[in-house]
Amino acid sequence: MATLQEIFSISSAGINAGRNTASIAAFNIVNAQTPGFARRVSNLQTGATIGMGVIAGPAQAIRNTILARTLMGGQSRLGFHDAQLSALQVAEPALNDLDNSGINKALTDLRSALDILSATPAGTAERQGLIGAAKSLALTFATTSRQLTDAARAATDEARDVVGDINEAAKNVATLNARIRTNVSGEGDLVGLIDQRDQILTEMSNNLDIQVVSQKDGSVLVFAAGGRPLVTGTGASSFEVGPAGTPGSFEIGVTLTKPGGAKLDPLAPLGGRLGGLIEANNGVLGSQAARLDEIAFSFVSGFNTQHQSGTTPNGQPGGTFFEPISTVAGAARSIVVSAAIVADPSLIAGAGATPSGSTDNANFLALADLPNQVGVMADGSSIVGAYDAMVFNLAININNSETGSAIETASVLQIQTLIDSESAVNTADEEAKLVQARAAFDAASTVTTTVTNMLDTLLSMVG
Amino acid sequence: MRVSDSMMFGSVQRSTSGAQARLFETAARASSQRAIDKPSDNPTAAARAVRIERVLAELDSAARTRNTVRTDLTVAESGLRSGIEVLENALELSIQMGNDSLSPTDRRAAAIAVDEHIKTLRGLANTRMEDGRYIYGGTRDGSEPYPAAGGYIGGQSSRMVNIAPGATFDSAVVGSQGFGDTDLSFKVLEDFATALRNNDLAGIQTAQEAIGRQLDATIPNLTGLGTRIQALDSMDTLAANNKLALEIQRGSIVDGDFAKLISDFNAASTAMQAATSVGKQMLAFAFGSLSG
């Protein structure tokens, strides 16, 4: 049987436990919408002897490390597809021929102008029409090239921004590691610091595929790019975006600088938004812009060669129809109709090599067929075929990114739901806990009051 | 499963934003009435649509070419028909002038008429198009194919043009398809005029036979030109059918089924209303106790 003193002590512990539970419930309620917040539960422990009161230990955060790590993987894949998708979508209008504009339309118009000329080879207006169609094609190539280059540049700029975010996050994780290490045995705001670090890591995983290794001292090691150290204890490495591949190409790459200054190259694809942007830039946008240059170069070379094999109405061999382009790089922006032809359309060589007359049209027919001719491109394909493949390639890549994004969105949602189910706050639950804590608090107070009254009575009887 | 506030908020947010996105998409499709707006909507279908568009453009271009060629051939046919009439008139005159009762004066007067026939025939054989081309000049149509100096100096080669995707057609009218690849038509009339002036009955008889032979040689050319025009007309029909089929095919790929688009839009609109209503109720149930 407990003494009055013991009853007093037990009720006092009960009041303390009720206050603690109410305090944690209130804390959970106010943080219900705080991103990354893991709900706390009161940690009530038995006192020295069972039945002799309760001790309120430090609050515990409800976390599931396995789910948290799984979420990071999902976030990384989602970030990859989302970033790639948004980068590629910027380029799609440049190659969208469904609105009856763009290179396909310009090539068709050129063919149409040549078809018209083949029926009226000597027509002056028709010759001007061909020059106009050729100028329009040149402008369309240049505009499309600029749009693709702009899209690649936008992806590069975005990659730089993402790298800035990653570097900042790595620094913050290193700082939090240091604070957690010093707090690991004490009370402080350790749980909040871990929440904060986990939230940063989850956000970082959307930008970069990371592997997190927990240490006994509470800190974490973060690795990326195939095992390269991003955060080692309290030190953070930093990424840097720079040009890669052959000089003049659109390719970009990253290097990792360790806290000591040593530079490392990635050992594996980066994943996350950064990986998606680099892949979009290097794998699609850059190569698309380069491919457009190849198409433009092959077209101009092929057209000029065919034109030179023809004969003008005056019986002279044809010259170059377009100003010759010496290099593939930048060809799409360098197409210019020969100044001589613009000045004198009679220099257009529509007749064959051995003309049957002044209005022989053999070369007009050959020129009209050139974009469809297999073998004009260096790889053996036709101009139209190469362009179609380019458009299809971009569309398929966008499609794949959309599919990947949809799959990962669903996956991340499911994992997040599982995490929320365990770690997030239910305000109704917390409200019930508040009511429960208040009842316990009231009861313990009543006990204290009763014991106090009993003591007072005893003292007055003795007195 | 334990249900947290963020799960409820998230669920409401996702269902309303998802319904909103779907509503926006169906509204955009219903207003544009297109099933595909960009290649990534359906890469394979978009590639097909662009290929069809290319063939349609070729068909349009070929239709313009057919019209140009048809005009040329129609002018050539008309000129040749008039030329044949001139020869027929000359033949009739030769029969009349072979009559013994006519005097040398009559024949000299007839010779003047024949001179006019020659002029008319040469003018017809050197017919020019509105852009200056000599229609019977073949691929050498920059100068008179039947010069007064004699002979035929037009081109003899064909000039192929595209009259349909993958189909070429000879657009040139060379001498052998018109007034002959020599100047025989004029020569027989000149010989006839000479015979008339010389009151040479035997010569008139010879000229009469020569004109008859020339007519026999020329009339089939009229049929030839007519056949070519007919071929173009047939191609018009074929191309129109082809174009219609391709347009239907393109429409089935690119254009949306309006009834389906409207139905989709209505369904999305209903889903949006339902999501909003359910969301409100969920939040009221979940947080009503706190606010109350």
| ipTM for the whole predicted complex goes beyond 0.85 | no
* B156: closest chain A residue by CA: A356
Q: Would you state the structure tokens that stand for residue A156, as one six-digit string?
A: 């590069």
The answer to whether B288 contacts chain A (CB < 8 Å) is: no
Contact A122 B37 (CB under 8 A): no
The answer to whether B15 contacts chain A (CB < 8 Å) is: no
Q: What angle do CA B14, B18, B19 make, to 5 degrees?
A: 120
Which residues from B are below 8 Å from A115, CB to CB? 61-62, 64-65, 161-162
Buried residues in B185-203 as b, exposed as e (16+ CB within 10 A): bbbbbbbbbebbbebeeeb
Q: Would you state the structure tokens that stand for residue A432, as one six-digit string?
A: 């019930």
Q: What angle do CA A81, A83, A86 make, to 5 degrees?
A: 105
Contact B64 A116 (CB under 8 A): yes
Is the Cβ–Cβ distance between B265 and B26 less than 8 Å? yes
Residue A252: exposed, middle, or buried by beta-carbon count in 10 A (0-12, 13-18, 19+)?
buried
What is the nearest CA distance from A426 to chain B, expressed in angstroms? 4
pLDDT given for residue B289 in this prediction = 53
The answer to whether A434 contacts chain B (CB < 8 Å) is: no
Q: What distance in Å separates the CA atoms of residue A173 and residue A194, rounded to the nearest whole number? A: 10
Q: What distance in Å separates the CA atoms of residue B112 and residue B118, rounded to the nearest whole number? A: 10
Which residues from A are below 8 Å from B9, CB to CB? 33
**Closest CB from A104, A313, A422 relative to B50:** A104
Sign of CA dihedral B131, B136, B137, B143: negative
Those residues whose C-beta lies under 8 Å from the C-beta of residue A243, and which sit 6 or more positions away, are A249, A251, A252, A253
Q: State yes or no: pLDDT of B277 exceeds 90.
A: no
**Closest CB from B7, B53, B142 relative to A359:** B142
DSSP 8-class letter at B181: S
Closest of A224, A277, A415, A421 to residue A407, by C-alpha? A415
Q: What distance in Å separates the CA atoms of residue B94 and residue B31, rounded to the nearest whole number? A: 76
- The per-residue pLDDT for range B211-239, each reduced to its tens digit, is 999 999 999 999 999 999 999 999 999 99
Which residues from A are below 8 Å from B68, CB to CB? 116, 119-120
* A35: closest chain B residue by CA: B6
* A418: closest chain B residue by CA: B1
Closest of A289, A273, A246 to residue A153, by C-alpha? A289
The reported pTM is 0.84
**Closest CB from A97, A358, A398 relative to B40:** A398
Which residues from A are below 8 Å from B65, CB to CB? 115-116, 118-119
* B68: closest chain A residue by CA: A119
What is the nearest CA distance from A421 to chain B, expressed in angstroms? 5
The answer to whether B25 contacts chain A (CB < 8 Å) is: no
Contact B157 A365 (CB under 8 A): no
pLDDT given for residue B292 in this prediction = 44
Is the Cβ–Cβ distance between B55 and B246 less than 8 Å? yes
pLDDT given for residue A109 in this prediction = 96
* B157: closest chain A residue by CA: A356
The answer to whether B58 contacts chain A (CB < 8 Å) is: yes
Q: Would you state the structure tokens that stand for residue B196, as one six-digit string?
A: 């008339």
Closest of A330, A79, A395, A316 to residue A208, by C-alpha? A79
What is the nearest CA distance from B119 to chain A, expressed in angstroms? 26
Contact A108 B38 (CB under 8 A): no
Q: Would you state the structure tokens that stand for residue A197, as one six-digit string?
A: 């670090």
Q: What distance in Å separates the CA atoms of residue A409 and residue A85, rounded to the nearest whole number? A: 13
Q: Would you state the structure tokens that stand for residue B203, as one six-digit string?
A: 């010569």
| A383-423 and A65-91 helices, crossing angle to 10° | 150
Q: What distance in Å separates the CA atoms of residue A34 and residue A40, rounded to the nearest whole number? A: 13
Is the Cβ–Cβ distance between A166 and A79 less than 8 Å? no
More confident residue, B9 or B236: B236
Q: Are strands A263-264 and A40-46 parallel, antiparallel or unpaired?
A: unpaired
pLDDT given for residue A5 in this prediction = 78
What is the nearest CA distance from B259 to chain A, expressed in angstroms? 22
Q: Residue A229: helix, strand or coil by DSSP?
A: strand
From the CA atom positions of chain A, what is the Rg in Å?
37
Closest of A456, A403, A444 to residue A84, by C-alpha? A403
Is the Cβ–Cβ distance between A251 and A260 less than 8 Å? no
Residue A215 backbone dihedrals phi, psi, to 5 degrees: -110, 160
Number of H helices, E strands in chain B: 6, 2
Q: Would you state the structure tokens that stand for residue B217, as one six-digit string?
A: 């040689």
pLDDT given for residue B88 in this prediction = 96
pLDDT given for residue B103 in this prediction = 93
The answer to whether B220 contacts chain A (CB < 8 Å) is: no
Residue A411: exposed, middle, or buried by beta-carbon count in 10 A (0-12, 13-18, 19+)?
middle
pLDDT given for residue A231 in this prediction = 96
Which residues from A are below 8 Å from B142, CB to CB? 122, 313, 357-359
> Which segments of chain A have a pLDDT < 50?
none
pLDDT given for residue B106 in this prediction = 94
The answer to whether B53 contacts chain A (CB < 8 Å) is: yes
Sign of CA dihedral A76, A82, A88, A90: negative
Q: Would you state the structure tokens that stand for residue A377, as one six-digit string?
A: 């491109």
Closest of B224, B234, B268, B231 to residue B84, by C-alpha? B224
Which residues from A are below 8 Å from B160, CB to CB? 118, 361-362, 365
* B131: closest chain A residue by CA: A123
Give the DSSP per-residue string, A171-216.
Answer: HHHHHHHHHHHHHTTS-TTHHHHHHHHHHHHHHHHHHS-EEEEE-T
What's the maximum distance between 2 C-alpha atoms anywhere in chain B?
Answer: 133
